[in-house]
Amino acid sequence: MTYFGLISTSFDLALIIPLIFLIGANPSLFRTAWFVESALSELVITFAIRTRLPFYKSNPSRSLIITSLIAGIVILTITYTAFGGAFFEFIKMPLIVFGLIAVILLSYFITAEFAKRYFFEKLGI
């Protein structure tokens, strides 16, 4: 699990570094982007690590798909609600930040899929 922890940390840094040094995110934008990326990455990575088979060879359960979609919608919606703004100080994110998050999530999923294969091959499980 050390490998997966290092992979997770690497993709966290892939968001943090551009937010701070390229985009110059203020605390509210940073908080909002960090929340969205962190929560969605947990949902996305579940689909990669839920089985030892490649993700496209094992269909997830209907329950997993439905609950993940609902959670994803709630995650994105809360950033645009008055509650999210007042309670968490979330703000509307620029499209460039959404794009960055999308690229990070896709890259994280692909990396986890390859790491999973390596993990099972190396351990012979």
Tell me the pLDDT tens digit for each residue of 60-74.
999 999 999 999 999
pLDDT digit string, tens, across residues 3-38: 788 888 999 999 999 999 999 999 999 999 999 999
Tell me how many domains the chain contains. Answer: 1
Q: Is residue 97 over pLDDT 80?
A: yes
What pLDDT was estimated at residue 121? 79
Burial class (CB in 10 A: 0-12, 13-18, 19+), 100: buried
Q: Write down the pLDDT at residue 28.
A: 95
Please state, for a pLDDT cut of 90, what percent of the chain lies above it: 74
Domain with 61, as residue range(s), is 2-123
What is the model's pTM?
0.88
